[in-house]
Amino acid sequence: MKRLAVVILLATLILACNQGKNAQQSTKKDAETKQKEEVTLAKVNGSTITVEDLRTEFNLLNVQAQQMFMAQGGFKSLLQELIKKEMLYQEAKKKNYAKEEEFKKIIDDYRKRVMIGFLLRDEVEQKAKVTDAEVRKYYDDNKKDFVIESDDKGAPTTVEFDAVKDLIRKRLESDKESEVFDEYIDSLKKNYKVDVDEEAFNTTFGNMVSVPPEEVNTPSEEITTAPGESKK
């Protein structure tokens, strides 16, 4: 019994030493990665462009833009674009656009949009996630929709689950997001007092009538008309 206790103690000490060593190696690796990310690639009047800046800019691009840059010089080409961006930014700062009212309004509107984006992420997108079980159930319940008729008059083929599960997930989450969003807006209406000046609205927009899309024949045609007026 005493011997077993000694073995357990030694094993615990060895495990602790290994964990400490692994932690040190992980910390060292993280520090090396951070150091590499902070490497300066270019300077524009003293303002630095780092590896991290370049990676961040690349990740913000959509797939098509990423492919374009990779086909036209890769990260070297993207670095040149960042240099142009920094030069233009510094030149714009000299003009003091930040003090203009129009600039402030645009920034305020952008700030609102970004904040709303974060809110919808937490209150809608996160709550509209579907489980693997839900995706599978949809596939099993609607298998007839995944049957492909053979062109050579052979037996119909059912598309495999793995081939369509991602598409099903996106569709289910999109439908669920709409549902969660509507429910969230309804809950907000209970807590917010909203007053609409109907008279002011009708005075300004009351005579505007939308024209159904099928009645619009040319791009230049008026999309709104006032009652009693004929379209040009």
**Whole-number Å distance between alpha carbons of 121 and 80:** 33
User: Phi and psi (nearest 5°) for 130?
Assistant: -110, 150
What is the reported pLDDT for 147? 87
**Pick the residue with more confidence: 204 or 28?**
204
What's the predicted TM-score (pTM) here?
A: 0.57
Give, in degrees to the nearest 5, the angle at Cα 158 between 156 and 159. Answer: 135
Average pLDDT, stretch 82-98? Answer: 95
Residue 177, pLDDT above cutoff 80: yes
* pLDDT tens digits, one per residue of 129-150: 999 999 999 999 998 899 887 6
Residue 209, pLDDT above cutoff 70: no
Q: Token pair of 120, please? A: 């919808």
Place of tokens 């462009």: 49
